Each structure stands twice: as structure tokens, then as C-alpha cells.
Amino acid sequence: MSEYLRMSGVYWGLTVMDLMGQLHRMNKDEILAFIKSCQHECGGISASIGHDPHLLYTLSAVQSLQKEDGSFAGDKWGEIDTRFSFCAAATLALLGKLDAIDVGKAVEFVLSCMNFDGGFGCRPGSESHAGQIYCCTGFLAITDQLHQINVDLLGWWLCERQLPSGGLNGRPEKLPDVCYSWWVLASLKMIGRLHWIDREKLRCFILACQDEETGGFADRPGDMVDPFHTLFGIAGLSLLGEEQIKAVNPVFCMPEDVLQRINVQPELVS
């Protein structure tokens, strides 16, 4: 796996193994040693040894990255994106330190990225995209602000992502991709509209993307499998109620029993 993806790969692998009840097969000491070796003096964590720390890979040092408008920069270079708002909120919620940032201003920024179609973009005025919608919806769930969303309007936009194949895409006129079985489904789960899509057709699409020889999942049937799509394929099946897979939390993409253990329960629309 490319170095810039290694920390994310650790998360993808650990989470999918936990969801399948196979976490005991992972080398705990080796993984912990790698993560510790990626932490810098500032508290930030990098993608791999020798790389710069970044909010996408970090479970600390986020307060200094909040801007006056409530947005968050991903690193010292200052790029703004609603993904980083979600990373910051999720990080601090897991640490029990959400009050370390100006939550009100952060909410204002995320809401300023809401579009006329009910979706969200990476910045104010940017096109709605399922990945950004997941981040913004997750952020609002963590900050108890889901009531600010027009759930029917957003739910309709998300449901339109389902194609005749049963798969989901991230925005209009794009191909289906197994990873959107997570971004779209998790968003629908958070706003209480999961029942608005054809669940059986989506289940069949996800399973068609599994390689019978390796067991992994690809973005589409017949393509190369990878850990990223394997996690989100398994997590999507969990949201669809697959009995052999542990329940996954739609906000954090972590097993529900883990979040219950650390007493983190974000808001969801029933």
C-alpha cells in the first residue's frame, strides 16, 4: 500500500476485521508500534513514518486549525474543506473534548455549505457530493444539530443516487461505486430515511463486487479489490442488516459496541 494511505489502511483493516468478529487475528503490538511511530511532537499523526502530520490522520492537535469563520484547515498550509470539519468534530468527540473548539461557529460554517438541493459541498457554493454530505451530516449529528437539515429534501437527493444496477453513485451522471454504499447509506441512516432505497438491489450490487477468490471487495464488479472498498462494502452490508456482520455506527464508521464502551452516542433522526 502507498505510504500516504498507510494510516488510513490501518483503520480500514482494523474496522472491517472487527465488524466480521476477526479482530483477534490482527497483530496488536505491531499496529500500535506503527501508530506511535507516526506521532509528532505537536501531537499530530502522519500517514506514515517520515510524513507530515495532517488532520485526516490525527486524533489530537485540532484546536489551532479552526479558522475565524468556524471552518478547519487540514494542516498548516490552510486548505479549507468540510471533510476537515468532520475530522475535527469526530476526533474531539471520541476524546470527550468537543468543547475545545467553538462549536457554534463550526456549525455556522457547515450550514453555509448547504445547497438548494439539500446537499452539501466542500465549501460554500460547491457542488453537492455524497462524500461531503456524509461529512456534514455526521458533523451535525455529533454537534446535535441534525434538526437544521431538511431531511426530506436531502433524503430525496440521496435516493436519486441509486442506479438500475442497484448501486449508488456520489453525484449525478457518475458510475456506481461500492464506497457510496457507505457514504449514501450512512447519511440516510442518520436522517432516518434508509427505507427510501431498494435495499435488496443494493445488497446484490455490493455482493457482486466481492472477489470469490480473495474475499475482498472492488468498486465495481470485476475490478481489482482493495481494503478501502472492502471496509465500506462490509459496513454497507451492516447498515442493510446483514446478520453475520456486527452493527456499525453510521456517524463514525466504527462498531457500535466500541462506541458504547467509550460512551459516545451521536444524535440520529428516528
DSSP assignment of 3-61: GGGHHHHHHHHHHHHHHTT-GGGS-HHHHHHHHHHTB-TTS-BBSSTTSPB-GGG-SS-
With contact defined as beta carbons under 8 Å apart, do 20 and 11 qualify?
Answer: no
Which triple of cell numbers denotes residue 84? 476537515
Q: What is the pLDDT of residue 56?
A: 61
Q: What is the pLDDT of residue 43?
A: 67
Q: Cα–Cα distance between 157 and 55 in angstroms, integer?
A: 29
Cβ-defined contacts of 123-127 (< 8 Å, 24+) = 123/80, 123/81, 123/82, 127/171
Domain 3-261: top CATH class:
mainly alpha
Residues 6+ apart with CB under 8 A from 118: 128, 149, 150, 153, 154, 155, 156, 157
Pick from 123, 35, 43: nearest CA to 84: 123
Q: What is the pLDDT of residue 60?
A: 41
Q: Cα–Cα distance between 227 and 182 in angstroms, integer?
A: 14
Q: Cα–Cα distance between 56 and 86 in angstroms, integer?
A: 10
Q: Cα–Cα distance between 12 and 71 in angstroms, integer?
A: 26
pLDDT per residue as tens, the chain (270 positions): 688 788 888 889 988 999 999 989 999 889 888 888 888 877 677 878 888 877 665 544 455 567 888 898 777 677 889 999 999 999 899 888 899 889 999 999 999 999 999 999 999 999 999 999 999 999 999 999 999 999 999 999 999 999 999 999 999 999 999 999 999 999 999 999 999 999 999 999 999 999 999 999 999 999 999 999 999 999 999 999 999 999 999 999 999 999 999 999 999 998
Pick from 37, 95, 46, 99: nearest CA to 75: 46
Residues 6+ apart with CB under 8 A from 14: 23, 26, 31
Q: What is the pLDDT of residue 61?
A: 45
Q: What is the pLDDT of residue 58?
A: 58
Residue count of the chain, please give it.
270
Does an H or E element contain 109, and which?
helix 103-112
Q: Cα–Cα distance between 268 and 250 in angstroms, integer?
A: 9
Q: What is the pTM (predicted TM-score) of this model?
A: 0.87
Distances (CA, A) of 155 to 82, 95, 97, 217: 19, 30, 31, 26
Helices (H), 129-223: 130-142, 151-159, 180-190, 199-208
Distances (CA, A) of 63 to 40, 108, 123, 178: 16, 17, 20, 34
